[in-house]
Amino acid sequence: MSKFHFARMFRRNVGLSPMQYVRWRRIVEARRLLHAGHAPTVVAGGLGYFDQSHFTRAFRAATGLTPHQYMVRNAPDGDAASSVPAVPPTDQEHACLPPPTPPSITNA
């Protein structure tokens, strides 16, 4: 299968290009790691971003928040910052990210 055919079939079945899907999964994983308390610099390196600046730009484009703002607003219980309410999804966030569980890939 050529890479072009793969990309067409992937988009048809998942609703995203392969690269959009990879970016989406990286942001989902970044959210999980940030919520768990990992530092943005560690998350950036662990997810393959060139540097923290690159990670911050990508994260802000997808969520509307910087990684630090996300950590503060979504702090686990028992943290002083937990009094800040969790941020509801924004229109920008919905435009950049697909639903949490993409449709399963089927043979077409």
24: left (phi over 0), alpha (psi -120 to 50) or beta: alpha
For 50, the token pair is 């060139």
2: left (phi over 0), alpha (psi -120 to 50) or beta: beta
Which residues contact residue 68 at a Cβ distance below 8 angstroms, ignoring those fewer than 6 apart? Answer: 40
Model pLDDT for residues 66-91, shown as the tens digit of each residue: 999 999 888 766 454 443 334 444 44
Task: Supply the pLDDT for residue 74.
Answer: 83
- How far is the C-alpha of 105 from the C-alpha of 51, rounded, in Å? 32
Identify each DSSP E strand in 16-102 by its residue range: none
pTM, two decimals, is 0.65
Task: Supply the pLDDT for residue 1.
Answer: 87
Task: Supply the pLDDT for residue 86.
Answer: 40
Positions in the chain whose pLDDT score sits under 70: 76-108
- How far is the C-alpha of 71 from the C-alpha of 37, rounded, in Å? 7
Task: Supply the pLDDT for residue 77.
Answer: 60
